[in-house]
Amino acid sequence: MKLSNDKVCFNFSKTNKPVLHTAAPASVTIQTLDCFSNQLRKEDDKLQSLDWDRINPATGPVYVEGAMPGDTLKVTVEQINLDTLGTVCCCKGDGVLGHMLEGEYLHVMNITDDYADFLGKYKLPLRKMIGVIGVAPKEGSINNGTPGMHGGNMDTAMITEGAVLYLPVFVEGALFGLGDVHSVMGDGEIGVSGLETPAEVTVKLEVIKGKAPEYPIIENENSFAVIVSKETVDEAIRYATKLMCLFLEERSSLSRPDIIMLMSLVGDVQISQVVDPQKTARFVFPKKYMDKREF
């Protein structure tokens, strides 16, 4: 099944009309625009000419049959195919160092199968990831720039090929969407942009009855991580750590104090992004120290 990039929405909401219905499990190939709706694709394009109403498009929403509130939408990222050009920018007032800039700057970078070319000087190894991915929240509408319990703009580098994302379902059909693919991005996304790249993403969608996590959980070959977005990085770290402790208690025969000691020894607090309206952190724990190594 295929979904083209002219079917986009700019918020996650239960009032958005589905552009695709699918049974589950199903693989869906989703074309995405970059976070600027492909408006900045040439080196001399200007940030100031941007139509800000078209920022952070997510392709969708996809109605997943059988997904009901309280269920879990399991999203396996099977493949991310990148365009050959990506855009990175920074400007006065935005990001961690926006106060150190005057004006606005951007580069359009060439992308090969292995690397992205920075100024003809450095070949940056690709670190493909999906910035915006989520489902409709229970109430109201959350714009695609903001991450939360529903996913959204989590800008988390772990959301890459081979990873499995578990999202809580809040509304019938889940109303899933994704966009904002980055070819390369450092943890934090400090300059407010990754290498923003149109792409084609293939995901496998499955419904797990019940078990909705409070915040999204990501699994890769070696680890599980809880991804939490809060007003501050401090709060996000604390809450992700707490949720991981509770997650492990259900999957380990160890006592709570022993789990906490083990988390302290082999678990990692990592920062996803520090530049969006809510900040995102994750707590990463290796599967090999769990008795039950499943979601």
**Of residues 108-127, those binding Zn ion (CB under 5 A):** none
Of 71, 180, 206, 276, which one interacts with Zn ion (CB under 5 A)?
A: 180
Strand partners, 77: 203
Provide, rounded to whole angstroms, the least separation between the CB of residue 133 and Zn ion. 12
153 makes contact with Ca ion (CB under 5 A): yes
CA distances from 34 to 40, 54, 83, 95, 141 (A): 9, 10, 10, 18, 21
Provide, rounded to whole angstroms, the least separation between the CB of residue 143 and Zn ion. 14
Strands of 18-57 (E only): list them. Answer: 20-22, 26-32
180 makes contact with Ca ion (CB under 5 A): yes
The binder of 153, among Ca ion, Zn ion, none, by C-beta within 5 to 8 A per type, is Ca ion
131 makes contact with Ca ion (CB under 5 A): yes
88 makes contact with Zn ion (CB under 5 A): no
155 makes contact with Ca ion (CB under 5 A): yes
Provide, rounded to whole angstroms, the least separation between the CB of residue 139 and Zn ion. 26
Q: Give the whole-angstrom CA distance, residue 226 versus residue 216.
A: 6
The long-range contacts involving 44-50, CB below 8 angstroms and separated by at least 24 positions, are 45/106, 45/108, 46/104, 47/89, 47/91, 47/104, 47/106, 48/104
Q: How far is CA 64 from the centre of its chain?
A: 19
# chain residues binding Ca ion, by CB under 5 A: 4
Stretch that binds Zn ion, among 28-36, 171-179, 238-246, 270-278 (CB under 5 A): 28-36
Structure tokens at 286: 């290796």
The rounded radius of gyration (Å) of the Cα atoms in the chain is 19
Provide, rounded to whole angstroms, the least separation between the CB of residue 83 and Zn ion. 13
Question: Where on the chain is the footprint of Zn ion (CB under 5 A)?
Answer: 35, 131, 180, 194, 196
Question: Where on the chain is the footprint of Ca ion (CB under 5 A)?
Answer: 131, 153, 155, 180
